Amino acid sequence: SELHIAGRLDADTTGLVLITDDGRWSFNIIRPTQQCEKVYRVGLRDPMSESTAVRLEQGVQLQGEAALTLPAKVTIVKPKEILLTITEGKYHQVKRMIAAVGNRVVSLHRESIGAVSLDIEVGQWRYLSAEEVACFYTE
């Protein structure tokens, strides 16, 4: 059967990708109404200030789009490294959000999607547990 990738990554982005042969399951992960949290570790060109983090959390306007991004969560790990949690999956969204606040992404790594966290080495794969699979099914 055909494989579906739930949440692709840009060529220069590393991290978690979920692959399935269940199209409905993958749609539940990527459709905007699902509000599925995706956590990215973002390396920045310039240090992140608390005030800029608040702007990202409240939503920013991306170039070419009228509506603000949905509220995000920002954790400043180091001055030039943040954890950014988003629920949308717009085209190049993380890079565009950071650009919208006058900074630039120098590295991008997806650490988790919903309840599934990356816990294996680069280039490796594993099956999801029954609980992990179930967390993406909706009523």
Residue 10 annotated to the active site: yes
Encode 1-31: b = buried (16+ Cβ within 10 Å), e = exposed.
Answer: eeebebbeeeeebebbebebeeeebbebbbe
Helix or strand holding residue 97 (H, E): helix 93-100
Residue 55 dihedral angles phi and psi, to the nearest 5° = -60, -45
Tokens of 132: 């992990």
Cα separation of 57 and 68, whole Å?
11
Active-site pick, 10, 12, 21, 119: 10
Cα separation of 101 and 63, whole Å?
11
Active site residues: 10
